């Protein structure tokens, strides 16, 4: 049985995906659950706290990958695995809504810059920096576009594309 907090997050995730963050009220979340608005606000003092809680596991997983200090190839595969794990969150309107929240957007931006730096390697030239940025984008965009495809097939196809980019240097 899910905790009240988990039920709130699950319901909010579905409503935010259906209607968008801006068009969903705390009252609507509460009504779907048969709770009072006050009960929802007890767990999440603001609607943005719900959004942050939904994005946090994704951002934590990204941070863990980048903290592991692996080789560029290992970072690429690990980042792709994080994107695949959270592909439905990424595909929903939530990632657009997340970007509206400065603290979450800033954290995501910092993580992606770290990913670019790790993939580019030590003392990269301009072309290497650009290829690293292209590689990072190649890891997320196809996952978002094809989130409903089998994860194994999607992973293999994305990695083939990344290898093609990186091998043609």
Half-sphere exposure of residue 81: CA atoms within 13 angstroms, side-chain side = 11
Instruction: State the pLDDT at residue 86.
Output: 92
The domains found in the chain, sorted by start residue, are: 4-45 (1.10.10.60), 55-167 (1.10.357)
pTM assigned to the model: 0.86
pLDDT at 91 (0 to 100): 78
Confidence (pLDDT) at 94 = 60
CA distance 17 to 155: 24
Going residue by residue through the chain, which has 169 residues, state the pLDDT in tens, using 9 for 90 and above. Answer: 789 999 999 999 999 888 888 899 999 999 999 999 999 999 999 998 998 899 899 999 999 999 987 899 999 999 999 999 999 888 775 666 665 566 778 888 899 999 999 999 999 999 999 999 999 999 998 998 999 999 999 999 999 999 998 887 6
Residue 121 pLDDT: 93
CB-based contact 12:29 (threshold 8 Å): yes
Distance CA 99, CA 113 (A): 15
Q: How far is CA 145 from CA 38, 61, 74, 138, in A?
A: 37, 21, 23, 11
């Amino acid at each position: 049985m899910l905790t009240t907090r988990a039920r709130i997050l699950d319901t909010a995730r579905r409503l935010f995906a259906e209607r968008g963050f801006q068009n969903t009220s705390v009252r609507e979340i509460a009504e779907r659950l048969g709770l009072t608005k006050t009960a929802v606000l007890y767990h999440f003092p603001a609607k943005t706290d719900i959004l942050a809680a939904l994005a946090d596991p994704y951002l934590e997983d990204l941070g863990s990958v980048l903290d592991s200090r692996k080789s560029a190839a290992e970072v690429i595969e690990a980042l792709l695995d994080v994107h695949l794990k959270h592909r439905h969150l990424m595909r929903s309107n939530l990632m657009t809504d997340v970007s509206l929240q400065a603290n979450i957007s800033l954290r995501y931006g910092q993580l992606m810059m770290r990913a670019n730096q790790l993939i580019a390697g030590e003392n990269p030239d301009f072309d290497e920096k650009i290829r690293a940025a292209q590689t990072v984008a190649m890891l997320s965009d196809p996952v978002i576009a094809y989130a409903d495809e089998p994860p194994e097939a999607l992973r293999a196809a994305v990695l083939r594309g990344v290898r093609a980019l990186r091998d043609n240097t």
